[in-house]
Amino acid sequence: MARIFSPGINTIARTTAFGLPVLVMLVFGAVRGWQDSSYITGVGRAVNQPVPFSHQHHVAGLGIDCRFCHTSVEDSSFANVPATETCMQCHSQIWTNAEMLEPVRESFRTGKRIEWTRVHDLPDFVYFDHSVHVAKGVACVTCHGQVDQMPMMAKASSLYMQWCLECHRHPEVNLRPTDRVNDMAWNWQKEAQGSAGPPGIQSINTKVVPQLRVQGAPQAGAFQSGVVQPGAAYPNAAYQGTAAVDSQALFDAYRIRTQGITNCSACHR
Amino acid sequence: MKMPMKSPEFDMSGLGQRLAGQQGPELWRSLEQLADTPAFREAVDNEFAAGAPEWNDGLSRRRFLQLMAASLALAGLHGCTRPAEEKIVPYVNQPQGMTPGKPLYYASTHTLGGLGRGILVEQNMGRPTKVDGNDLHPATPGFDNPLPTAMRFGAADIIALASILSLYDPERSQTVKRVGRVSSWETFALSMEEELARLTPRQGEGLRILTEATSSPTLADQFNRLKVKFPAAQWHQYEPVNQDMVRAGAMLAFGQDVRPIYHFDKTVVVLVLESDFLIIGPAAVRYAHDFAWQRRVRTDRPTMSRLYAVESNLTSTGSVADHRLALKPSDIERFVGALAAKLGVSGGGAADAQGLDADWLAAVAEDLQAAAGNATALVVAGESASPRVQALTHAINVKLNAVGSTVTFIEPVHAFPVEHAESLTQLVADMQAGQVSTLIVIGANPLHNAPGDIDFAGALKKVPLRVHMGLYEDETAFQSHWHIPLAHELETWGDARAFDGTVSLIQPMIAPLYQGRSPHELLALLLGDGRRSSQRVVKDFWLKRWGGVDSEIAWRKALHDGVIENSAAEVRQVTLAPVGAWAAADPKPTGSDTLEVSFQVDTAVYDGRYANNAWLQELPRPVTKLVWDNAAHISPATAARLGLVNGEVMHLSAGTRGVDAPVWITPGHADDCVTLPLGYGRTRAGEVGTGVGFNAYLLRSATSPWHESGVTWRKTGLNHKLVTTQMHHSMEGRGFVRTGTLLDFIHDPEHITAHGHQKKNGVPLTLYEPFTYEGTQWGMSIDLTSCVGCNACVIACQSENNIPVVGKEQVSNGREMQWMRIDHYFEGDAHQPDASHVQPVACMHCESAPCEVVCPVGATTHSDDGLNEMTYNRCVGTRYCSNNCPYKVRRFNFLEYQRPMAPSLELMQNPQVTVRQRGVMEKCTYCVQRIRRADIDARTDSREIYDGEVVTACQASCPTQAIVFGNINDPASRVSQEKAPKQPHAYGLLSELNTKPRTTYLARIRNLNPKLAPQSPAGGAAQH
């Protein structure tokens, strides 16, 4: 009886038995790597814009507060891109003849809107809310990176769901005092050493908490006790300079409820 | 797919025997179910009807699979490429007061029959997306939200809620047309000025304007000025659903034209004659609200009013009634005559009218008389009741001390109230006689809705210049020389008065999408100042009327509130005219060889003007659950006598007028008469509304617009496919609607909800891991006593949650997408059911949800706050969840219903809710977008969510406040007051399955008259 398999088959079989899983893993790894590559995520890739607006110049160079332009970030889910008139508040006075600002002037002249390209673009079935993050001391830099070092805007994180969940599962890690949310170079050590500079405008904490106009006592002050009092928002004296201890203190002071923040409907509706 | 309700071999004879074998009252949804035919069994067993997943609309299955394969391949590739770039387009000048990403709410007015109802419109970045009622407006009261800081929504009816779809309707007329060719407003203005120059020397002789009913003070002022400029011109009004009968009745009874306003919040005993006052009409929301208030049975308030209904067709109001009598229209007139005689009102009829239920009559008379002592009785005649019935009703109300208490009278709210039929008849006569040289039609569409004995089309041809202004290029526009697009009420300025006279302003929510113009602009053109915008016209009128320096402030306040303060009409004192005016002889009983026909306003498309609104067309009509059609409603006995089955087309004729109508057998309908809903059979409504149903106006006469006797009939041998959702999503089991009498509630409330299958003692066994729900936990309660089945919640949900329509074919396959459905149950006899019940059903958000455990991809999960979540982007469409849902509340996107979407409809979508694609399961989310919004606001302010801060769309729209939503873990919350143990008659649907539904119901309590329903006090009528 003739042999069905030649001796060479053994080698092929061994190679396949060990090689195929390796190959499969390689393929998965490659796909995964491809997915996580900045080519797909867009991390670090500057995006072309109709006007080459430099955050580096405006933030680091001129020291303009984030909220001067992104006015709705504290009140709305959406942090707006400024209207043309916001640009023209300054640029009707300075750099009035600059070539690169012509699209802005044209927009202001003609009423035609400037079409910026989205840098941070979530899928349409994802609902993200800026206001609550800012109110709870999640800094701009945490998600958007050091925009003060970006001549042209680029993503600093993938904005993948996994990335969101890393924080939502341990929200205390990324907290800081709410008057520091727009500080690009802040950290706990600087805060403890007093070298973090003067605090920013405490716009969240000084925001007037809407007074209940309920008939009678509003449920025995249940929520009143939870209101972060202006000025006394966080235990200033307790700063140890260690992120773990201090951000846990903030976590308590800001009364961050973890209930529901990893629910599907927190982001998908 | 077999449609159970349509099977021709339907056997009425077997019903009697089956019913005879039943013990106690039995609930049933359709005659087919009662007969328990094999077709019905099959329909219940197959949740997804045979062939439901197949694409059978023009595109072959094979072609579809090819397309799908291609899209799958593309979907796979999509993951390997960069997402497409999107643009952000900020304002040039950002409007003040607007925060990008946050909605704004504006008050405005929606008119129905010329009368205003307040609306609040949600606007997202300049796009109106949702309509709600305005709490401050008398016609649209809201629910008593304990939180004044929260958005105060008012209730609304389906027409106001669906008006947002009409605004964005891509088929609305988009441009000025001259004899079918595109023209412009400027060209029209020039041409009109020439015409006016010719008219001026003749003082406007030959100029006629035809409008619908209007109550706009500004428009009235413009007409007055036009009258000065052109004294010989004439203004006609025609609206097919008008108050001619009310007017004539008041003239008969009081000798003056006054209109009744009912105060149901003061009533204890109400008799309603031929009126669907709870769901149809400009005041329906207010009336339903007030009526429900008197029937809010709770442990601390064990009282309720009693409603008797006498009507020919089974309406929603009839369903709500505690006692109902089905009579054909002529018998209703005899009934009122007999009642009047019994109550000692002079001019009534024979007290013992032959053939009427004497016991019923006596019991009602006695009950009314008892309530008359403290002025809490009321008799209501519908707007379609004959003048004699109206007058007798007024006389009875005077006798019952009702006038001044439960009913008051005011001067007509409409500007220049006229008799519409007469106005149209005169216009047509003048047109025939060649006395009309220029006819300007504003809004009206007489070519569709003029009575069949008025040849408007023929007369129109004799008018040399015909101008039509309307929302659509409709039947009348097609026969006109000029067509001007009318601006939708959500995109123009105006004003209107409510049913009680209160004035409210109409303000635009968006610039006109399609070059629409308002009637004010057209009138301004006729008055010679054609450059004035509608805003200038309306604002100037009010500033001038108010005068003084504060007028600008008053204008702003009126715009903000949506109403002008203290503008309600004053109550008029009335005295009964001398007897005799209405003392005509009772109509003779008609023979059974002919039929009586009664015309009815359609509950969805009204008089036909909303025919192109797909939300309304696809809305299952109350009681019948028919969609995309109207039908001739007849009783089972009459159907058996005439040998007709469902869907069989019969020809009805009266003199030279005739119409072909498919038959729909309606249990509870009066014998020997037919009810025809108006508003269908449009020939130029648009892609949605054209060719839907039959045009009942063809059978209507100008002299007797609501009833026709002596109508002959014959079979045509044709059949028409009628589609009903009555048996879709049907649940197996019993005891869905639990009912009891008021006496039961007082003496033994537990008995009402006691249920054979329910284990009263011990913890039921469960396979689910025990879980403690802490913190805020959402729940809902629906009061079946309050619910009138008006469908407002269904449309509100559709609007809020971007729910698509699917079309008649798709509905017949059981693919309708509405997240809410209103189940309708009959109780008892198949011919004249003892009662009928409605039950709104949406996702119950079960704590032990059967759907969640079977999802292979974790697309449906449970949230910490007790919501049954649906994550669309995870769903792969196995439909296991729907199979496992005992409530049948999940809806599957069998096809790409949302695409391609007209660009204008894209503007309408709620930005807070994902627009779902094909192959995805969806269902009620408890308006999770509103919950998360409130949650985020509360977190931002470091507080808890207030009770009343989250209002679901259905709850906001509900005129009777039957739906309450809130935190069930808070014992003080409003929803907790509506649940067990606070309310003994609260129960969970199919709770014996141990699903622990978060939505619970309050059993339906009926206030039966012991004389008419002799039953033991303890739970004789409860379901077992």
Closest CA relative to residue B465, chosen from B405, B526, B518 = B526
Higher pLDDT, B76 or B1020: B76
> What residues of A are in contact with residue B930 (Cβ under 8 Å)?
none
Reported as a single tens digit per residue, the pLDDT across B168-194 is: 999 999 999 999 899 999 999 999 999
> What residues of A are in contact with residue B950 (Cβ under 8 Å)?
none
Mean pLDDT of chain A: 80
> What residues of B are in contact with residue A115 (Cβ under 8 Å)?
87-89
Reported as a single tens digit per residue, the pLDDT across A95-147 is: 988 999 999 999 999 999 999 999 999 988 999 999 999 988 899 999 999 99
- State which residue of chain B sits closest to A115, comparing Cα positions: B89
> What residues of A are in contact with residue B91 (Cβ under 8 Å)?
83-85, 113
Report phi then psi at B441, rounded to 5: -100, 120
Higher pLDDT, A174 or B24: A174
- Do A76 and B99 make contact, defined as CB atoms within 8 angstroms? yes
Residue B10 has a pLDDT of: 46
- State which residue of chain B sits closest to A131, comparing Cα positions: B940
Q: Does residue B337 have a pLDDT over 50? A: yes
- Do A224 and B89 make contact, defined as CB atoms within 8 angstroms? no
| Of A78, A107, A127, Cβ closest to residue B92 | A107
Residue B180 has a pLDDT of: 87
Q: How confident is the model at residue B585 (pLDDT cuts 50, 70, 90)?
A: low
- Do B871 and A268 make contact, defined as CB atoms within 8 angstroms? yes
- State which residue of chain B sits closest to A216, comparing Cα positions: B146
| Of B87, B102, B935, Cβ closest to residue A117 | B87
Could you tell me if B614 and B165 are in contact, meaning their C-beta atoms sit under 8 angstroms apart?
yes
Find tokens 């539904």 and name the residue: B997
Residue B579 distance to chain A (closest CA, Å): 54
Q: Which of B909, B924, B941 has the highest number of chain A CBs within 10 A, making it the mutation to test binding with A? A: B941
Residue B935 distance to chain A (closest CA, Å): 10
| Of A34, A82, A125, Cβ closest to residue B873 | A125
Residue A173 distance to chain B (closest CA, Å): 18
Q: Which residues pair with B234 in a beta bridge?
A: B208
> What residues of B are in contact with residue A117 (Cβ under 8 Å)?
85-88
Closest CA relative to residue B844, chosen from B892, B786, B888, B790 = B888
The dihedral region occupied by B953, where left means phi > 0, alpha psi between -120 and 50, and beta the remainder, is alpha
Mean pLDDT of chain B: 86
Pairing of strands B595-600, B673-677: parallel
Q: Which of B930, B939, B976 has the highest number of chain A CBs within 10 A, making it the mutation to test binding with A? A: B939
> What residues of B are in contact with residue A226 (Cβ under 8 Å)?
942-944
- Do B93 and A107 make contact, defined as CB atoms within 8 angstroms? no
Tokens of B900: 């391609």
- Do B100 and A259 make contact, defined as CB atoms within 8 angstroms? no
Q: Does residue B759 have a pLDDT over 50? A: no
Residue A185 distance to chain B (closest CA, Å): 25
Report phi then psi at B994, rounded to 5: 65, 35
| Of A82, A123, A268, Cβ closest to residue B90 | A82
| Of A39, A78, A215, Cβ closest to residue B101 | A78
Residue B125 distance to chain A (closest CA, Å): 12
Is the pTM here over 0.95, yes or no?
no
Q: Does residue B60 have a pLDDT over 60? A: no
Q: Does residue B1 have a pLDDT over 50? A: no
DSSP at B339: H
- Do A135 and B913 make contact, defined as CB atoms within 8 angstroms? no
Report phi then psi at B902, rounded to 5: -60, 140
> What residues of B are in contact with residue A260 (Cβ under 8 Å)?
863-865, 935
Three-state SS for B825? Answer: strand
Residue A236 has a pLDDT of: 41
C-alpha of B97 from chain center: 34
Reported as a single tens digit per residue, the pLDDT across B808-841 is: 988 988 899 999 999 999 888 888 888 899 999 9
Reported as a single tens digit per residue, the pLDDT across A192-214 is: 776 666 555 444 433 333 322 22
- Do A85 and B93 make contact, defined as CB atoms within 8 angstroms? yes
Tokens of B742: 């008021």
**Residues contacting B429, CB < 8 A, separation 6+:** none
- State which residue of chain B sits closest to A117, comparing Cα positions: B87
> What residues of A are in contact with residue B972 (Cβ under 8 Å)?
219
Helices (H), B465-588: 475-478, 519-526, 534-546, 551-561
Residue B1020 has a pLDDT of: 39
Average pLDDT estimate for A164-172: 91
- State which residue of chain A sits closest to B147, comparing Cα positions: A214
Q: How confident is the model at residue A230 (pLDDT cuts 50, 70, 90)?
A: very low
> What residues of A are in contact with residue B778 (Cβ under 8 Å)?
none
Average pLDDT estimate for A35-59: 90
Residue B577 has a pLDDT of: 83
Residue B347 has a pLDDT of: 73
Could you tell me if B554 and B546 are in contact, meaning their C-beta atoms sit under 8 angstroms apart?
yes
| Of B863, B873, B913, Cβ closest to residue A260 | B863
Residue B903 has a pLDDT of: 86
CA distances from B694 to B606, B630, B655, B661, B678 (A): 14, 7, 18, 6, 8
Reported as a single tens digit per residue, the pLDDT across A53-74 is: 999 999 989 989 898 999 999 8
Three-state SS for B438? Answer: strand
C-alpha of A76 from chain center: 14
| Of A118, A129, A224, Cβ closest to residue B88 | A118
Give percent of chain A above pLDDT 70.
Answer: 81
- Do A227 and B863 make contact, defined as CB atoms within 8 angstroms? no
- Do A115 and B87 make contact, defined as CB atoms within 8 angstroms? yes
**Residues contacting B982, CB < 8 A, separation 6+:** B299, B976
> What residues of B are in contact with residue A209 (Cβ under 8 Å)?
941, 943
Tokens of B940: 């931002």
- State which residue of chain B sits closest to A265, comparing Cα positions: B869
> What is the spatial distance between Cα A129 and Cα A135, in angstroms, rounded to a whole number?
11
- Do A75 and B94 make contact, defined as CB atoms within 8 angstroms? no
Burial label for A24, CB within 10 Å (0-12, 13-18, 19+), is exposed
Q: Report the run of H or E that residue B661 belongs to, with start and end.
A: strand B657-665
* Beta-carbon contacts below 8 Å between A and B: 174
> What is the spatial distance between Cα A240 and Cα B722, in angstroms, rounded to a whole number?
76
Q: b/e per residue, B348-358, with b = 16+ CB within 10 A? A: bbebebeebee
> What is the spatial distance between Cα A14 and Cα B701, in angstroms, rounded to a whole number?
93
- Do A129 and B935 make contact, defined as CB atoms within 8 angstroms? no
Average pLDDT estimate for B323-352: 85
> What is the spatial distance between Cα B752 and Cα B205, in angstroms, rounded to a whole number?
70
Residue B588 has a pLDDT of: 66
DSSP at B576: P
Residue B876 distance to chain A (closest CA, Å): 15
> What is the spatial distance between Cα B121 and Cα B131, in angstroms, rounded to a whole number?
5
- State which residue of chain A sits closest to B873, comparing Cα positions: A125
Closest CA relative to residue B784, chosen from B734, B746, B750, B736 = B736
Q: How many CB atoms lie within 10 A of CB B778?
A: 25
Average pLDDT estimate for B965-984: 90
- State which residue of chain B sits closest to A122, comparing Cα positions: B83
| Of A75, A78, A125, Cβ closest to residue B872 | A125
Amino acid, single-letter form, for residue A186: W
Amino acid, single-letter form, for residue B65: L
Report phi then psi at B572, rounded to 5: -100, 140
- Do B932 and A266 make contact, defined as CB atoms within 8 angstroms? yes
Residue B102 distance to chain A (closest CA, Å): 6
Residue B541 has a pLDDT of: 94
Reported as a single tens digit per residue, the pLDDT across B716-730 is: 999 999 998 887 777
- Do B87 and A135 make contact, defined as CB atoms within 8 angstroms? no
Q: How many CA atoms lie within 13 A of B559 on its CB side?
A: 16
| Of B80, B93, B935, Cβ closest to residue A83 | B93
